[in-house]
Homo-oligomer: A and B are copies of this chain.
């Protein structure tokens, strides 16, 4: 079987790291005999927007829906297109219309990566953030009244459905059940956000009955953020709403020193639609054009993509190569080295 992958490099450093992501996946594909067919798209991107007034053609869904996965760089160029226009016109459409309701982000403290926390050793941080990816605080429902006057106000709905909450909780409980520690933490804020978050807690309580081996606890997001800094070793699988998951999945990698190299998977577990794999970092206009972006996040995304396609051995081979490169170099400037994007990508590909 040949797997059809759509390549959506996007903007800025998305375009620079993408070739290295492809190089790593190709290397693993060769080693493990996996058939991959790449198809490159020039959209979504802010350049496309400037020419066409939209981030993607109207038939984007038809063009993409039969791919096995979307390999995504980064979108956004705030100097020319406001972020909420570029993101809602692309990434957030994919998540919602391809029903990629899980955003999965591994957070690990790896050897060779300088950790901003004192006294932490590799292995001390090893968790997954499971983020709800289609609803919650990221709604498109709301509006503005008394525009331009002193009485002006805006409303924006947060929307939590039983379907939406239960399916992300189920995914997280099942992931926790497979992990050695079998520990699930739920992020909430039911003491302050008094309608939606008590409902979230209620669904967690209902769900945990089905997973008696999983130890579970809950933290309000404020103290949970603090705990990520003070005792990250206590977390295993953390499940969170769209917004809280967004915050925790930048904060977690920051605590592990890996904000520039963290991957994420936007999954439709039922495979009714293609899943999307993207670095946590964005398009980084400030460093674009110098070929110094760290390609590791993109490469790690390639590993997650192969895992989702069924090739755990290929995933493991790529992750091992990344780990060795982090220890032995070469390194891009963000990791204290002098190598460029291509050199790091080629080094990892040859380790695979």
Give the residues in chain B near A153, CB-CB below 8 Å. Answer: 159-162
Q: Which of B161, B192, B194, B198 contacts A243 (CB 8 A)?
A: B192
- A325→B255 CA distance, assembly (Å): 30
Q: Which of B118, B158, B190 contacts A115 (CB 8 A)?
A: B118
Provided the pairs A158-B156, A259-B230 are in contact, do residues A82 and B193 lie with their beta carbons within 8 angstroms? no
Contact assessment for A247 and B229 in the assembled complex, using a CB-CB cutoff below 8 Å: no
- A249→B223 CA distance, assembly (Å): 10
Contact assessment for A162 and B156 in the assembled complex, using a CB-CB cutoff below 8 Å: no
Contact assessment for B243 and A189 in the assembled complex, using a CB-CB cutoff below 8 Å: yes
Binds B, one of A18-26, A137-145, A174-182, A300-308: A137-145
Interface size in chain A (residues, C-beta < 8 A): 63
Contact assessment for A83 and B190 in the assembled complex, using a CB-CB cutoff below 8 Å: yes
A157 lies within 8 A of chain B by Cβ: yes
Q: Which of B116, B156, B194 contacts A193 (CB 8 A)?
A: B156
Binds B, one of A43-51, A84-92, A270-278, A309-317: A84-92
Q: Could you list which residues of chain A lie within 8 angstroms of chain B, going by C-beta atoms?
A: 76, 82-84, 87-88, 92, 115-119, 137-138, 140, 142-144, 149-163, 189-199, 221-223, 225-227, 229-230, 242-243, 246-247, 249-251, 253-255, 259
CB-defined A-B contacts under 8 Å, sample of 24? A82-B190, A84-B191, A87-B191, A115-B118, A116-B117, A137-B192, A140-B195, A142-B195, A143-B195, A144-B195, A150-B163, A151-B162, A152-B162, A154-B195, A155-B157, A155-B196, A156-B158, A192-B246, A222-B250, A223-B250, A226-B250, A226-B254, A226-B259, A229-B254
